[in-house]
């Protein structure tokens, strides 16, 4: 088989940092992927919330082709229009003021923590350096991001970790208030914890967190790397809660599969990023921002976001109906097209059986399966995917 030969070649030369499934993908169309041996799969992972417009989207493909004919890269020492257009759209869609662009979610979170510490040193106190993050969070694999991640399994053998980053329970306002001190520079959290098991923040909790930050001049950072870019039915998840952070971190779906990330901040905070404070060689490149402009136009359309919300409701209803049929699913939770089911068994075997049956799923912890399909998914494909899931739970 062609796939087996490619996997054997890859195993010889690629570091085994991923426990990869035994599939070699060749191409995709819409919400389906086809492997090197011709088997087609319905994709409910979207590259883990990256391929928001699915595969081979005509507008995205055309924009990338057109930009590739012009220039792939130009230094950030110069300007180019796709970068400016993308920043204009991001500020409009977020309600915040200025953008810094990089390549990934981890880089975005690093940038946010750097900016928050610089702001706090100028606006609060030289000793205001501490960042409070949440238990069960996930913020990336670079050193500050992995330190902020509230899951010790990701930090094994990496000590010593970065100083002045601590953790408190998520959705526990009393614990957060007890942890805050004059040394607190920032509070970092995901409005919906993704890798930690698909746990949305309680609305009252986020309201109180915002008030706490306002009262004590603390920078509020929302990591929306996974839950942003239309995933929940609003462009950013915080917009569904009716509050606004000082900094929001984005990545994953923003360029539809081309690597891109960044932060958007209020002018009060962003003014402390000046020449020399931060940089990214490939950030805001012409190819990525050309792709982002297509995604921002499509996903930022209120009608499209309403469709995501409706399709999210359909997915949730189907999962709740499946839960009611048996005792394997103990909980269904999430927002929009970011849903999770908690199981009485381990998620891994179910994910493997679904893959054998032609459905791609991804876990979110030991006994949780998450559903982050392309935002263009149809209700018919939702029904088809849930039917395959039911068969795989069997």
Q: Count of CB atoms within 10 A of residue 303's CB?
A: 6
List pLDDT tens digits, range 270-284.
999 999 999 999 999
Give the 3-state secondary structure of residue 194: coil
Question: Measured on CA atoms in the order 134, 140, 144, 146, is the torsion positive or negative?
Answer: positive
List pLDDT tens digits, range 283-316.
999 999 999 999 999 999 999 999 999 999 999 9
Q: Which residues contact 152 (CB under 8 A, 6 or more apart)?
A: none
Rounded to 5 degrees, what are φ and ψ at 186? -155, 155
CA 50 to chain centre: 8
List pLDDT tens digits, range 80-136.
999 999 999 999 999 999 999 999 999 999 999 999 999 999 999 999 999 999 999
Q: What is the mean pLDDT of residues 326-352?
A: 97
What gap in Å lies between CA 370 and CA 340, rounded to an integer? 4
Look at residue 98 in the predicted model and tell me its pLDDT.
98
Tokens 């909790």 belong to which residue? 205
Q: Is the pLDDT of residue 29 over 80?
A: yes
Residue 38 structure tokens = 């011709």
Residue 160 structure tokens = 């010593």
Q: Which residues contact 173 (CB under 8 A, 6 or more apart)?
A: 205, 208, 209, 212
User: What domains can you pick out in the chain, each with its CATH number?
Assistant: 2-57+302-393 (3.90.1150.10), 71-299 (3.40.640.10)
Q: Is the pLDDT of residue 394 over 90?
A: no
Residue 243 structure tokens = 């509050």
Look at residue 355 in the predicted model and tell me its pLDDT.
98
List pLDDT tens digits, range 168-212.
999 999 999 999 999 999 999 999 999 999 999 999 999 999 999
Is-above-0.95 flag for pTM? yes
E strand or H helix at 202, and its extent? Answer: none
């Amino acid at each position: 088989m062609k796939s087996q030969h490619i996997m054997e070649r890859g195993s010889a030369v690629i570091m085994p940092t991923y426990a990869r499934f035994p599939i070699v993908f060749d191409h995709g169309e819409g919400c389906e992927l086809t492997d090197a041996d011709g088997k087609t799969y319905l994709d409910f992972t979207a590259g883990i919330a990256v391929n928001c417009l699915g595969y081979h989207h005509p507008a995205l493909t055309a924009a990338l082709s057109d930009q590739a004919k012009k220039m792939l890269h130009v230094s950030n020492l110069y300007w180019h229009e796709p970068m400016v257009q993308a920043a204009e759209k991001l500020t409009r869609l977020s309600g915040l003021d200025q953008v810094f662009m990089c390549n990934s979610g981890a880089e975005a979170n690093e940038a946010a923590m750097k900016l928050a510490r610089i702001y706090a040193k100028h606006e609060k106190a030289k000793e205001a350096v501490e960042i409070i993050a949440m238990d069960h969070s996930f913020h990336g694999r670079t050193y500050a991001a992995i330190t902020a991640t509230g899951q010790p399994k990701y930090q094994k053998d990496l000590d010593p970790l970065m100083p002045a980053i601590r953790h408190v329970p998520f959705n526990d306002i009393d614990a957060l208030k007890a942890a805050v001190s004059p040394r607190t520079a920032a509070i970092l959290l995901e409005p919906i914890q993704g890798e930690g098991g698909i746990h949305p923040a309680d609305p009252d909790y986020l309201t109180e967190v915002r008030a706490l930050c306002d009262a004590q001049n603390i920078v509020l950072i929302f990591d929306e790397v996974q839950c942003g870019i239309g995933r929940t039915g609003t462009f950013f998840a915080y917009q569904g809660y009716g509050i606004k952070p000082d900094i929001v971190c984005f990545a994953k779906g923003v360029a539809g599969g081309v690597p891109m990330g960044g932060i958007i901040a209020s002018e009060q905070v962003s003014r402390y990023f000046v020449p020399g404070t931060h940089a990214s060689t490939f950030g805001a490149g012409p190819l990525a921002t050309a792709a982002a402009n297509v995604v921002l136009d499509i996903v930022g359309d209120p009608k499209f976001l309403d469709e995501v919300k409706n399709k999210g409701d359909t997915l949730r209803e189907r999962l709740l109906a499946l839960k009611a049929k048996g005792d394997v699913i103990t909980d269904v939770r999430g927002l929009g097209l970011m849903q999770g089911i908690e199981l009485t068994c381990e998620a891994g075997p179910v994910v493997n059986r679904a893959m054998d049956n032609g459905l791609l799923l991804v876990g979110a912890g030991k006994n949780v399966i998450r559903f982050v399909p392309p935002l263009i998914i149809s209700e018919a494909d939702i029904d088809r995917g849930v039917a395959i899931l039911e068969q795989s739970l069997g």
